[in-house]
């Protein structure tokens, strides 16, 4: 039980506001009931003793919304704040006095802190070399989660191997841009200069997606830095992932089915169907077959839905004598396009496919690098066996 006795007018105004805030805080819970009597204000209420300190809450909020203005993020003046004094922060600091109850608000490691300690902590979190701005977020729940997670991340550190890997990704992206700038000095392009940190972001995003059981990721991104992502993190072979000027000329369109013009249809003994970047691994493997490489034709299915039935019929009609039809994919048997394309090939094209893939798996990846590479080699070898 807590009783608030307001005996002085000057103090009563301030305490009355605090009481109103407490009332608003607990009015939707089972903890609060009150009795108001005038002229002397008497409040009888029952609630948990660990209350949120509203002065500290306002201070944290203003740092979340305006702390970036004093952050040290100017690359030309390292260690120098963008703005020495932020009016929104200074105006609030002048009205506050410590100590503050930090329970539930800050990850300071202590339940009570002075105003100086709180300011030092908030300046370290929100006014350092990395900062955030939460005012554009729509809901208070999003703002609270983002601020709390940002404070937690400031205490996390990367291992030596993680630092080396992230540095490698960003340096490769930087060197790729340097190469393009030297090789194609007069060509207009949209490189990733200044945005190399996106490589670390996408690496973490894709890693956490795999850990969470996500099997498919669709990336919609602008043209700036796209080549860096495709050739760097996603490992698309840059020498193969290109289009000729004729393929990009006026009147050309997207091709749902891409045939194989590098082989003679009369000499082909097996048709290999695939989709996506798996084609480039298959193409490299076929080149290593030497004399037998002309026995296989690789047809790319780049559109699954709507199923390109007519285009597939036209392409397959070039190989009338072929009896061996293979679907090759890098995903496990129970994932990827196999379950979608297999019945359609059999029922609509009267073609029974032979599957070459990783074994069925409950997760998107095996989680062991050596086993992953071994399975990948097995898929390539069995495709052209």
262 shares a domain with 379: yes
Per-residue pLDDT, averaged over 304-312, amounts to 94
Whether 24 shows a pLDDT value over 70: the answer reads no
Is 135 contained in some domain? yes
Same domain? 212 vs 297: no
User: Residues 101-141: pLDDT tens digits?
Assistant: 887 666 777 778 888 888 888 888 888 888 888 888 888 88
Identify whether residues 15 and 64 lie together within a single domain.
no
Dihedral pair phi/psi, residue 25, rounded to 5°: -70, -35
| 292 and 209, same domain (yes or no) | no
pLDDT in tens, 322-360: 999 999 999 999 999 999 999 999 999 999 999 999 999
pLDDT at 228: 85
Which position has the higher pLDDT, 24 or 380? 380
Q: Is pLDDT larger for residue 140 or for residue 23?
A: 140
pLDDT of 104 reads 66
Same domain, 362 and 261: yes
Looking at the structure of the chain, the number of domains it has is: 4
Whole-model pTM: value is 0.53
- Residue where a domain terminates, one of 95, 119, 153: 153
Alpha carbons 337 and 326: distance in angstroms, whole number: 13
What domain range is 89 assigned to? Answer: 54-153
Rounded to 5°, angle at Cα 75 from 71 and 77: 80
Phi-psi region of 213 (alpha: psi -120 to 50; beta: other; left: phi over 0): left
Same domain (yes/no): 302, 360: yes
Q: Is residue 203 part of a domain?
A: yes
Q: Give the pLDDT mean for 161-166.
A: 89
Q: Both 137 and 165 in a single domain?
A: no
Count of Cβ atoms closer than 10 Å to residue 208 Cβ? 10
Of 183, 218, 233, which one is at a domain's C-terminal end?
Answer: 233
Q: Are residues 180 and 147 in the same domain?
A: no
Q: Is the pLDDT of residue 277 over 60?
A: yes
Dihedral angle over CA of 248, 250, 254, 257, nearest 10 = -80
Q: Judge if 289 and 207 occupy the same domain.
A: no
Mean pLDDT, rounded, of the chain: 80
Domain assignment present for 242: no
167-171, 220-224, 255-259: which range is least confident on average? 220-224
């Amino acid at each position: 039980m807590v009783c608030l006795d307001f005996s002085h007018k000057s103090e009563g105004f301030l305490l009355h506001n605090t009481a109103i805030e407490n009332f608003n805080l607990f009015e939707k819970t089972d903890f609060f009931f009150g009795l108001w009597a005038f002229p002397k204000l008497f409040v009888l209420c029952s609630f948990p003793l660990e209350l949120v300190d509203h002065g500290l809450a306002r201070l944290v909020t203003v740092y979340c919304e305006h702390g970036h203005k004093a952050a040290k993020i100017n690359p030309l003046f390292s260690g120098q704040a963008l703005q020495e004094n932020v009016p929104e922060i200074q105006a609030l600091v002048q009205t506050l006095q410590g100590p503050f109850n930090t329970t539930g608000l800050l990850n300071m490691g202590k339940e009570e802190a002075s105003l100086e300690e709180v300011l030092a902590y908030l300046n370290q979190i929100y006014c350092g070399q990395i900062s955030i701005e939460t005012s554009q977020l729509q809901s208070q729940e999003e703002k609270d989660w983002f601020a709390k997670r940002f404070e937690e991340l400031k205490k996390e550190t990367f291992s030596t191997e993680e630092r080396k890997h992230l540095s490698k990704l960003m340096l490769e992206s930087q060197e790729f841009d340097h190469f393009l700038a030297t090789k194609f000095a007069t060509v207009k392009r949209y490189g990733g200069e200044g945005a190399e940190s996106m490589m670390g972001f996408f690496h973490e995003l894709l890693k956490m997606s795999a850990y969470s059981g996500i099997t498919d990721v669709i990336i919609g991104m602008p043209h700036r830095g796209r080549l860096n992502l495709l050739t760097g993190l996603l490992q698309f072979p840059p020498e193969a992932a290109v289009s000729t000027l004729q393929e990009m000329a006026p009147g050309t369109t997207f091709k749902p089915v891409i045939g194989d013009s590098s082989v003679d249809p009369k000499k082909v003994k097996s048709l290999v169907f695939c989709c996506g970047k798996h084609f480039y691994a298959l193409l490299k493997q076929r080149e290593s077959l030497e004399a037998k490489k002309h026995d296989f034709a690789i047809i790319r299915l780049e559109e699954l839905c709507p199923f390109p039935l007519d285009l597939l019929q036209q392409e397959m009609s070039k190989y009338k004598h072929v009896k061996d039809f293979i679907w090759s994919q890098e995903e496990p048997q129970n994932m990827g396009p196999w379950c979608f394309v297999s019945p359609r090939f059999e029922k609509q094209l009267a073609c029974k496919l032979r599957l070459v893939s990783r074994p069925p798996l409950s997760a998107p990846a095996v989680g062991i690098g050596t086993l992953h590479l071994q399975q990948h080699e097995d898929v390539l070898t069995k495709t052209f066996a």
